[in-house]
Structure 1
Amino acid sequence: MELFDTHCHLDRPEFDADRDALLTRARAAGVGHVLVPAIGPAWWDGLLALVEQGGGHLSCGLGIHPQEIPTLDPADDDRSIRRLGDLLEAGHAVAVGECGLDAPTAENGGSMERQVRLLEAQLGLARDLELPVILHVFRCQGEAVRVLERFGKLPAGGVLHSYSGSAELVKRWSRLDLHFSFTGPVTFERSRRIHEAARAVPADRLLLESDAPDQPPAGHRGERNEPAFLPEVARALAALRGEDAEELAARTTLNARRLFGY
């Protein structure tokens, strides 16, 4: 298989002890490229340095994750967005994100109003710079799709990472030129909602991700996730859709390369 991991938090400290070995295992498993999305301003510089050392096998998105919002001073929001725009305009990333909306965070210090404001600011950067957007949407699919519909279709599209919405919402999201990425939970026997959604996604909108170190596939529950496990996600997704795993891997890699400019 030739695989493209569209979402891996490789800059997290969980990987500090064996990051190089992890990437060697990933390449041995067929994962030729890993995209690392940022979670907030404090991570941007370190992530850019990591990608610089990646020898062409790594790329990144830069953005503000909704779960980070409670840790950030609201007085710095405008400054952070300006700095984000400067970094993106300089060509240091292939996407805007990770950004989005998160319902539990709205109940724990990161109001939905502030989340929407920061999301719309990042969508504006994606629109103006013609970059794809990497979206985190958790337990607020309806609110998120309304925000995106109100904002309007982005010129470079984007991806709903670790898609957890319904099969019925796939058509609505697709009209916004968005892709759908799946990870470990698609391998779980009881993840029926995710299975139905995975079957509903058009072939040219389908992507794979590890979301490492989180969301490991069924065979590795309780372990730290890593990109080398991505073939297991590909095989489970192919079985759900009644497709050949090698063909699905090749198609999702092509989709990712088109979306992120590789």
Structure 2
Amino acid sequence: MHSGELARLAGVTVRTLRHYHQVGLLDEPERRSNGYRDYGVQSLVRVLRIKRLAALGIPLERMPSLLDDEAGPDGSVEEDPRKVLDELDLELAGQMDRIAGRRRLIARLREHSAAPDLPPELAPFFAVFATSGLSPELVRADRDQSVLLAHLVGEDAMPFLERFYERLTRPDMVPAVTGIAERFARLGPGSTEEETTALADEFVRTFRPVLAELAAAGEHIDLSGSADLFGEYTSGQFNEQQLRVVEQLEAKFEAQGEPGPT
């Protein structure tokens, strides 16, 4: 049979047959006088065996010894089929665990109608802010900053970030937090020094108890090594008056020997 017929019978493409030739899985028969290669039934069986192994997830480079039943002088085979199956089963179990974990994250995001790019751990809290009356621009800005924070703190410190946001979204805190966010967003060239200072003071009065509560519980994250990244982020997102508030906040928290909120 020629290559087209072999491919049809085996349920593969001629291009796939050529690839099997190139990687050494399938011998190339001699060409006949008409220029076509003449494959026998054994070639068909070989391709069907390759398909079986591929369907199990066995990579092509591991197939030769399984296909050829190669054995050493002592009778041992290079690839023990039982070992290969054990490894495949273990790999699939790991994939299933990862898929199950991914589905849990998706369910959490769907539950709170959160965006797919939001850290799932923070989804419940952003749902609160999204319904608190904040403008879409402010919600997006907070999301972007939180995505950056979540990446920098890593999995180990994520519980701190969750508890921080949990406290900010308590019913008694939401009005104050959203009010500060709105005032911060309105800062611009027409804002006075008194306004920026007053906002920084209000920020400290609102957030200091939350940070103190977490610190008393022994919770804190050190982001000093990420200062340059935050500096680049704020300088690219905030205007001059907003940056002035950020500088005042840093000075106020440093003067008290306390870590800032970010």
- Pairwise same-fold verdict (TM > 0.5): no
- Bigger proportion of residues as helix: 2
- Bigger proportion of residues as strand: 1
Bigger relative contact order, structure 1 or 2, given CA contacts below 8 A and separation 6+? 1
Q: Structure 2-normalised TM-score?
A: 0.25
Larger Rg: 2
